[in-house]
Copies of this chain bind each other. A is one copy, B any other.
Amino acid sequence: MGGPRFEPVRTVRAYERIVEQIEEAVESGSLHPGERLPSERELMAQFAVSRSTVREALRVLQARGLVRSRPGDPNGAEVLPFTPAALHKSMTTLARVDELSLGELVQFRMVLDASANLLAARLRTDEQLDEMDAAIGRMRAAVAVGYDEFSAADVAFHDAVARASRNKLIEICTDVVRSIVLGLISEKIAGAPDRQALMWRSIRHHEEVLAAVRAGDGPLAARLSRQTMYDYYVGYVPAGERPALRALLE
């Protein structure tokens, strides 16, 4: 050991330096949402680079959800308020590209939804209870209408629960994983011959969950929600993956 420590040199592209600088300015708060960046032609003067380089940097910042550019805007790119959109996007990519099995996805939904219900039972407001109640009403009315409307109402219920948990990560992950699961099997559900019976059973289960949330019984709400989701999806999960799902049912 000993001797001079040489660090490997990392060639940094010009546009990356620009990204770093603007990103730092935004995240440190010296550039607030709603403010405008200088125009591309002015940025290329400030950074002493060509416009192509400035634009590549702006594309990266835009992909990260930090800024937005509109053609014709007399001002420069707009600094956006922080939204979890980029997080949502990368989470979606992860779930799509990483060859996740339906079992894993459903299992993750069970975990998230149960936690959301557990928290919602303690933290929900009366307005959020009303939202959940209204969503179940929509589900009931939708049985005769069709699966799409039923599914939308079901989503509304789970969204209300997720919001009531007051944890944005739970909210986002719930949304992402749900949309992927639905994308994989919604047409199968919609075409099931006994789908009306499934819908009614699902409604009854949701009512039980809501009752537990209303009563403030978090563990019960969590257990019921896991069971609800298991019953609803287990038929579409390969038999080999079902034991892993049942492991969540205690």
Contacts and interface: CB of A to CB of B under 8 A. Distances in A.
Query: What is the size category of the interface that chain A forms with chain B?
Result: 35 or more
Interface stretch (A117-125, A133-141, A185-193, A228-236): A117-125
Nearest to A250: B219
B86 A93 contact: yes
Main secondary structure of the interface of A (DSSP, over half): helix
B60 A82 contact: no
Given A87-B90, A247-B122, A169 B219 contact: no
Given A59-B56, A168-B99, A123 B218 contact: no
Given A119-B247, A247-B122, A172 B94 contact: yes
Given A95-B169, A218-B250, 18 more contacts: A27-B97, A52-B52, A56-B59, A59-B59, A65-B90, A82-B99, A87-B90, A94-B172, A98-B172, A99-B168, A105-B169, A107-B119, A108-B167, A118-B247, A119-B244, A119-B247, A122-B247, A123-B247
Interface of A: 15, 23, 26-27, 29, 52, 55-56, 59-60, 62-66, 82, 84, 86-87, 89-91, 93-100, 104-105, 107-108, 111-112, 115, 118-119, 122-123, 166-170, 172-173, 177, 218-219, 243-244, 247-248, 250
